[in-house]
Structure formats: C-alpha cells, structure tokens
Structure 1
Amino acid sequence: MTLIRQLSTPAAVVDARRMQRNIERMQSRMDAFGLRFRPHAKTAKCLPVVQAQIAAGARGITVSTLKEAEQFFEGGIADILYAVGMTPDKLPRALALCRRGCDLKIITDSVAMAREIGSFGKRHGAALEVWIEIDTDGHRSGIKPGDAVLLDAARALHDAGMRLGGVMTHAGSSYDCDSREALLAISEQERAGAVLAAQRLRDHGMACPGVSVGSTPTALSAARLEGVTEVRAGVYVFFDLVMHNVGVCTTDEIAMSVLTTVIGHQEEKGWAIVDAGWMAMSRDRGTQKQKHDFGYGQVCAEDGAVLDGYLMSGANQEHGIVSRAGEPDLGIAERFPIGTRLRILPNHACATAAQFPEYQVLPPEGGVQAWPRFYGW
C-alpha cells in the first residue's frame, strides 16, 4: 500500500472523505428542491469523481471542452451539456459525438451562430439540441433576458429544424460576493433572469423545456428556484479558498491540496522555501481582491491541519515561499526543517488541479490511490 509519506512532491492530494461530503451536501440540497443536478466536470476532469457524483444522484454532467465530452462519453456518461459557446469549426466534432449515441447539448448566444448551427444541421440531416445562453449578471457571455436577439436566435434554430433544449445561465459574479444577503440577491437575479428568458420564448410560441442555472455560490445559497429545471455547479466538489472567502465552505471542507516539501530557508526573512511553485499552484491569485488574501495558498501540516497565519506568500516556477503573515517568523527553519512535508490549500481548485496529470487520493480506508485526470481541448 502506498502511503502519503512515500509520494514524490509536489503532488495534488484529494481527501476522498471531504470530497464525498461535499458531493452529498450539494446533492441533498438539490434533492430538497426537487431539481435535476448536472455537475460541472471541469473542476476535477476525472472519471472517478464524476462517477461518485452520479452515484449520489446527479443526472448528466456539464463540460467545458469537447475533449471532456468525448472522454466522459467513452467512460459511459451520455447526457452531456457542452457549456461553452459553439463555433463553426467544432460542429463536425459535436455531430460525430451525437451520432455515436451521446446526448450532447450545445449552446449559443448569437443569431449568427444559431443560423450557422441550423445550416450545418440541415446539411447533415441532424436536429441538434441547442440551448441559448442567457446573461443574468453582465459577468461574461450570453443574451440579456429581455433582448429581442433572444427571440431571433430561437427562431433561427426553430426554422432550421433544430431542437431548442432550453436556456442556461451562469452567475459568475457570485464569486465576488461575501455576505449571505449578496448571495441571496445574485441567486434570485440568476433565477429570475433565466425564467424570464424562458417565459418570453414560450409566450412567442416556442417550446423551452429546460431552464438551467448555477454556480457553486448560488447553488448553495438560493432560497427559491421556482421555474428552474436543473442546476449546475462545479468547484463545490473540491472547494477552495475563493469559495471560503465567498462564505460557502470552511477550510475543513476543502478537499484538494498540494503536497510539498521544504527544500531550504531564508531565515533572516522568515521564509521556508518549498518545491511547489506556480507550476504546481497555478498563478491564480483569486483571493487577492477579496477581504482575506491567502497569497498563493493556505499552509497546512502534512495531515491537513491548517497552520494559522502561514501562507504561500510568493512563488517562482518551481519554488514557493512559505512565511507567516504579519511579523516574520525568524525561527521558521526550526519550525519547518528541510524535508518537512506541508500541504497547501489552493485559491482556485480548477486552476491548481489543471497543473497535474493525476490526483493522489486519500480514501477513508487508508493508503493512496492514483486517479488520472483529463487534459486538452
């Protein structure tokens, strides 16, 4: 049996017990609302993780790349929403998946692309299922719920014989919240905007069966979800320090960390140097604009216990700097001798996970299991 102390560092470590609790927490909330839950697989990009989500009750998945869709389909998962705007060059690949039996849903947020999808589908005798992306918070892409373009895009799909699966939205601005009141407000804004868009389509004689909303903060905060048919969320499976600052998890619920080893010191500066730099942690400094800046990550002992006040305060490509916030720890070499193993909680789990080809999973029964993750587009 491989043990954590035998792992080479840096390594992406997943606490399976915490991960399972996170999965069950989200699923039980969606079950209480009586809604379909379609987890976003882009965080873990790992088949065993998705299988655990489906075993808990998830129905279908969301992906961010067609490669994810292909690989999860090969792993036995057929109900897939590709939640990134479709482009003409990707349509043949999407159609190939559909013809292999994948229940693939694609999205668009423009009349031009709706027409392109329709033209492509007609040429190939395929009625593709298309969802229209709605912008409910001005954060990224999508059509405003009240915009006339929404009807034009839907008509373009309908007239070409495509299937309008529904409308979907993602309240990415929820990541900027840090109070219960703000989370409730953005959750309701997300819900109301998506429901309004769907109702406008129905009022104009177009079927709109699906209303899909979601982000980890809104999924865990919404007080009401009337009119919604499904919810999506991704980072909840691991959580991270950004989500901690948003207020939807504690550090004890963060399931992924980076195992690292102390390789040296700058004692006069109060620094311990570790072998996990930004190539291991990523350059994501998502907590920098929040009330609590964790630098490149929160330092923990090898067993996962948080070491209050110690952060990864700096990072080069393969070197990380561990120091104490505020007054420097001039005894840091004694506290963390060379060879000490530490674990760093990440700012953004998706970005940190992407630095590694596999997870070193700590199951409840002990030992370590290697779970591969997907790469590429």
Structure 2
Amino acid sequence: MVLAMINLADLTTPYLLLDTAKMTRNIDRLQAHMDKLGVTLRPHVKTAKSIDVVRRLFTNGVGPITVSTLKEAEYFAEHGFTDITYAVGISPDKLPRVLELLRSGVTVRVLLDSMAQAQAVVSYAQKAGVTIPALLEIDCDGERAGLTKNDPKIVEIAQLLHENNQFSGILMHAGGSYHCPDKAAKEAAAEHERATAVAVRDTLQKADIDCATVSVGSTPTAHFAKNLSGVTEVRAGVYVFQDLVMAGLHVCALSDIAISVVATVIGDRPDKGWIMTDAGWMALSRDRGTAQQELDQGYGVVCAMDGTPYQDLIVSSTSQEHGIVAVRKGSKAKLPPLEVGDQVRILPNHACATASQFEGYVVPDNNELVFWPRINYW
C-alpha cells in the first residue's frame, strides 16, 4: 500500500531513498537472464520486505517468493502471495505459525537439515492433520548450514519425509560466491552449485525418492550461471537494489545501486579531515561487507544528492548517530566543500542490513515523493 505524498520540507534525515528506475533495471536484468536459461526465479524478498517493491517483481503479482522470517510470510500472504519458501532452518516453536498459514490456503515450504527437525515436522504434521512440505538443505561450499552431498543422512531424512508425504525437494545457497570477484570464479561457483544440486537429486532418485524441487541461488551465481539444467528454480534477493558488496564483486556498477541513505552534514573536524553527518550505524548498519574486498568502502560511499559519488569519499567510521566522512586513505582527493545543513546520499555496503534500519522507502514519483512501508523483525 502506497502512503500519502510527502512534503520534502517535512523529511527528517536520515531516511532511505529508493530510485525505482534503477530498481526496475536490476529486476529486468536478472529476469531476462533466467528467462534465457529457462528457469523459474523465486525472488528472496528479505531484502525489500515491502509489497510495493515485491509486486514489481512479477507480472501477475503473486509470486513465487522466498522469505527469511515468518513475519515476512504472514505479511506477503495477507497481500495474496500463496507460494512461499521459508528458507531458514525450521525450529519446532515456529510450526504453529506455519500451520496457520497452511490452513489459510498458503503453501509454505520449510527448510531442514537434520533428522531431529524432520521428526519434529512429521510429528507435528500428523497431530495437526496437515501436510507440511519440507526442503532438505544441502551445503555446496562450506559457507553455512546443510548436509554435504555425500552424507548418507540425506537419503535417510528424505526417506522419512517422503514416507510421510512431506518431502518437497532440496535447496542450497552458494555463499562462497561472495568471495569470487572475478568472472571465471563466479561462473565456476554457479556451476558447482548446479552440479552439486543435480548430484544430490540423482542420489535421491536412485533411492526411489522423487525430488520435485531443486532450488539454488545467490545473487552472484544467479547472474553468472551459464547452465541451469536440472535446476527447477533460482533464488536471489539483493539484486533488486544491489549494493557495494555486489559492486565489489563486479555483479553490478555503483550506478546500479538503487537505495541510498540521505544524511545531513552536522559539522566538521578540519584538524582530522572529517565531515560529520547524522547517519551513524543506526542508519547505515554495522555491516562491513567490503572490508575484505579489493576496495574497502568503509560504511558507505558518499554521493552528491544527484547520486554522483564524490571522489574517494567514504563514511570511514561511525558511532550510533554520527557518521564520519573522510577521503579514503592513500587518495589525493580533497574533501568537498560541504557545509552544515547540506545533504548527501550514502550507498550501502549491504542493502538488506541498511534497509532493515528503516520503516520504509522514500520514493520520487513524478516530481512528488511517496512512502513505501516495509516490515522488520520476525
């Protein structure tokens, strides 16, 4: 739901600005790639958490989607989305909320990687008299949760779920692709993700267990996959907005980043070469995702209000409500002549983390401003 128009003079910084033209280009780019490869895209809406954004991902507006919290699942279900994958390992305490969604007519797939979780899902489903479709998480690169592809528990767990009509397929996330700045490495990560998924599917089929869903995905591998044969769907989320981490991985350019934090200059420290703004870590988040990349962007890249980055100007450090803006170490650039009251835009390291600091997006719309609310929490 789009809220009322906003008067620019009434805005208090820091706020989150969304460029919908850039967002649309990002959406169209990945969708075109998936269409070319003939695979369904199941966007991860944990980045946007806004119905006004997510409706723009689909021509029919109803999914399929991936969520990271049950609050997201409930929120998007209220807006007509009925095909949802909850892509975080399930715990028994969350099953009553899953049940409510199922009984409302929403398909919610849960994720697990242990016999204990599988037994909890089967037991709860039997008592409730429902089917809870479950995906088995596979670890393709040692980055996070999941069972490795040769683990015999894969067949054991899938068999239990299959016998009780709960097995939906497998899911994996190539988190290692976030450490692949060059094109060949990203392409290799995408192929490794695909090949691992297909190998596990084949193992299950040999055990007479149907594997209807073969779900893979990360924003880097989604963009650099060259072959997705055997895969039924791809998940990605941050591609909608992009961010400095993705730019550092050469998945996008700085000019593709669709969100920025608008901050106001509140002072300076000429003796230290600092400009102070009112956007600290409460606005930008503590995410330092570029710290290990070739170019460390501090807590964000500082731009003029038209979106043009100042030369080598970053948020070098933060406290709760203060952002310290400085020229990158080693650069010969000069501080821009910003004065108290001037405003700047700061591009985020991690779009998901920065967006989570705000209640919604300020969106320019035909020379007006509107507010698109988003949800947070669990």
TM-score in terms of structure 1 length = 0.96
1:266-315 C-alpha deviation (Å, 9 max, x unpaired): 01211110000000000001100111000000000011111121001111
Counterpart in the other structure of 2:176:
173
Which whole-Å CA distance do the structure 2 matches of 1:326 and 1:237 have between them?
Answer: 31
Counterpart in the other structure of 1:104:
108
Structure 1: stretches of 5+ with no match in the other structure: none
Counterpart in the other structure of 2:351:
349
CA positional deviation for 1:366: 2.7
CA positional deviation for 1:21: 0.6
Structure 2: stretches of 5+ with no match in the other structure: none
CA positional deviation for 1:376: 1.3
Which whole-Å CA distance do the structure 2 matches of 1:11 and 1:146 have between them?
Answer: 48
Counterpart in the other structure of 1:134:
138
Which whole-Å CA distance do the structure 2 matches of 1:167 and 1:182 have between them?
Answer: 24
Q: Are the structure 2 counterparts of residues 183 and 57 from structure 1 closer, same or farther at C-alpha, using a change threshold of 3 Å?
A: farther
Report if aligned partners of 1:10, 1:260 keep a CA contact under 8 Å in 2: yes
Is residue 2:375 matched to residue 1:374?
Answer: yes
CA positional deviation for 1:353: 0.4
Which whole-Å CA distance do the structure 1 matches of 2:267 and 2:309 have between them?
Answer: 21
Which whole-Å CA distance do the structure 2 matches of 1:342 and 1:312 have between them?
Answer: 11
Counterpart in the other structure of 1:182:
185
Q: Are the structure 2 counterparts of residues 329 and 280 from structure 1 closer, same or farther at C-alpha, using a change threshold of 3 Å?
A: farther
CA positional deviation for 1:27: 0.7
Which whole-Å CA distance do the structure 2 matches of 1:104 and 1:323 have between them?
Answer: 47
Is residue 2:331 matched to residue 1:358?
Answer: no
Which whole-Å CA distance do the structure 1 matches of 2:192 and 2:241 have between them?
Answer: 26
Segment of structure 1 superposing worse, 51-60 or 298-307: 51-60
Q: Are the structure 2 counterparts of residues 5 and 24 from structure 1 closer, same or farther at C-alpha, using a change threshold of 3 Å?
A: farther
CA positional deviation for 1:362: 2.3
Is residue 2:323 matched to residue 1:320?
Answer: yes
CA positional deviation for 1:367: 2.1
Among 292, 298, 301, the alignment partner of 1:298 is 301
User: How many residues are paired up?
Assistant: 374
Which whole-Å CA distance do the structure 1 matches of 2:334 and 2:162 have between them?
Answer: 69
Which whole-Å CA distance do the structure 1 matches of 2:151 and 2:345 have between them?
Answer: 48
TM-score in terms of structure 2 length = 0.96
Counterpart in the other structure of 1:16:
20
Q: Are the structure 2 counterparts of residues 221 and 58 from structure 1 closer, same or farther at C-alpha, using a change threshold of 3 Å?
A: farther
Counterpart in the other structure of 2:337:
335
Counterpart in the other structure of 2:72:
68
Q: Are the structure 2 counterparts of residues 59 and 90 from structure 1 closer, same or farther at C-alpha, using a change threshold of 3 Å?
A: same
Q: How does 1:29-40 map to 2 (within 5 A)?
A: 29-40=33-44
Q: How does 1:86-165 map to 2 (within 5 A)?
A: 86-159=90-163, 161-165=164-168
Counterpart in the other structure of 1:235:
238
Which whole-Å CA distance do the structure 1 matches of 2:178 and 2:210 have between them?
Answer: 32
Report if aligned partners of 1:313, 1:321 keep a CA contact under 8 Å in 2: yes
Which whole-Å CA distance do the structure 2 matches of 1:66 and 1:325 have between them?
Answer: 41
Q: Are the structure 2 counterparts of residues 328 and 241 from structure 1 closer, same or farther at C-alpha, using a change threshold of 3 Å?
A: closer
CA positional deviation for 1:55: 2.5
Q: In percent, how many aligned pairs have the same letter?
A: 47
Counterpart in the other structure of 2:214:
211
CA positional deviation for 1:375: 1.3
Report if aligned partners of 1:39, 1:58 keep a CA contact under 8 Å in 2: no
Q: What is the letter of the counterpart of residue 170 of structure 1?
A: H
Report if aligned partners of 2:311, 2:333 keep a CA contact under 8 Å in 1: no
Q: Are the structure 2 counterparts of residues 311 and 148 from structure 1 closer, same or farther at C-alpha, using a change threshold of 3 Å?
A: same
Which whole-Å CA distance do the structure 1 matches of 2:370 and 2:20 have between them?
Answer: 10
DSSP-derived class of the 1:368 partner: strand
